[in-house]
Amino acid sequence: MYGLVNKAIQDMVCSRFGEETWKEIKHKAEVDIDVFLSMEGYPDDMTHKLVKAASVILGLSPKDIMQAFGEFWVQYTAQEGYGEMMDMNGDTLPEFLENLDNLHARVGVSFPKLQPPSFECTDMEKNSLSLHYHSDREGLTPMIFGLVKGLGTKFDTEVHITQTQNRDDGAEHDEFLVIYKPNSAQ
């Protein structure tokens, strides 16, 4: 994974729990890097170690940490210079979700070794859709809950998300039912 992900985990932990807690997490994860470089590639295993260590130190499940991180990621990437690119991806939550693969293609120009997930929206209704998530990476599915909630905040839209298909249970890919209601006229 690119350093931007680990840097975001660090920023989330430091902003919510402080620098000392981050140092404890790094020590427990046996990660001896002071500064993650956004454009540098790091082993996926390093990210998983950080999440597991954070789980122990913070007393939260890895799933809860990944959900919180997903929500944090939306705001973080916007502040890290990708806000304009995100703004071009859609004006509403469903439009944005439909264009996620296009967003990843644009981001891939800056991150040539990017291995993004793939998303597909089906069963589009007035206030709901099915979001299909395809990824070769393990352990990131809980992040989708947080991402969708974070996007709901971005678009001032109330969101309820449930997982309807789980790769861990033998499904070909993960699938989510997203029910949404814009809080303002969109």
99 with 54, same domain: the answer is no
Give the total residue count for the chain.
Answer: 186
Asked which of 13, 45, 60 is the last residue of a domain, the reply is 60
What residue has token string 């298909």?
165
Asked if residue 134 lies in contact with residue 173, where contact means CB atoms within 8 angstroms, the answer is: yes
User: pLDDT by residue (tens digit) across 110-127?
Assistant: 777 778 899 999 998 999
Which domain covers residue 56, as residue numbers?
3-60
114 with 32, same domain: the answer is no
55 with 106, same domain: the answer is no
Q: Where are the beta strands (DSSP E) in 24-183?
A: 118-122, 128-134, 157-165, 174-182
35 with 112, same domain: the answer is no
Total domains in the chain come to: 2
Q: How is 5-59 classified by DSSP, letter by letter?
A: HHHHHHHHHHHHH-HHHHHHHHHHHT---S---TTSB--HHHHHHHHHHHHHHHT
pLDDT at 10: 95
Is 84 a member of any domain? no
106 with 165, same domain: the answer is yes
- What's this model's pTM, rounded to 2 decimal places? 0.88
Asked if residue 13 lies in contact with residue 25, where contact means CB atoms within 8 angstroms, the answer is: yes
pLDDT at 24: 97
Is 47 a member of any domain? yes
33 with 111, same domain: the answer is no
**Rg of the Cα atoms in the chain:** 16
177 with 98, same domain: the answer is yes
| Averaged pLDDT in 10-residue chunks for the chain of 186 residues | 89 95 96 88 91 95 94 90 84 94 81 84 93 90 95 95 93 95 73
| CA trace torsion 140, 54, 146, 9 (10° rounding) | -90
What gap in Å lies between CA 130 and CA 34, rounded to an integer?
40
CA-based end-to-end distance of the chain: 35
Tell me which amino acid residue 52 is.
K
pLDDT at 185: 56
